[in-house]
Amino acid sequence: MPRTAKGEPTRRLNLEMAESVRKRLDELRVHTEADSLAEVVRRSLLVYEFLWTERLKGSSVLIRNEEGDKELIIL
């Protein structure tokens, strides 16, 4: 995942969150081998934006496990 484009203006964002949320973000950083918590947040935003856009278009999210069982996810 590319970092912020060179020359693109940036702004610092300070977030107050429960320690449990911070731990979850850090666990995601480790599992996904992201360089930073900021990268985890950027990736999360991309996924959330994609899902929201698809929902607005009337699409559904379907999860299929290793056995081939499917589950419809309601957003």
How far is 21 from 61, CA to CA, in rounded Å? 24
Q: Is residue 8 part of a domain?
A: no
Which helix (H) or strand (E) element contains residue 26?
A: helix 19-32
Q: For residue 45, give the H/E element and its range.
A: helix 37-56
Residue-number span of the structural domain to which 32 is assigned: 19-73
User: 24-46: buried (b, 16+ CB within 10 Å) or exposed (e) per residue?
Assistant: ebeebbeeeebeeeebbbeeeee
Report residue 3's pLDDT band, with 50, 70 and 90 as the boundaries.
low
Indicate the SS3 state at residue 39: helix
Total domain count for the chain? Answer: 1
Residue 14 lies inside a defined structural domain of this protein: no
pLDDT in tens, 22-60: 999 999 999 999 999 999 999 999 999 999 999 999 998
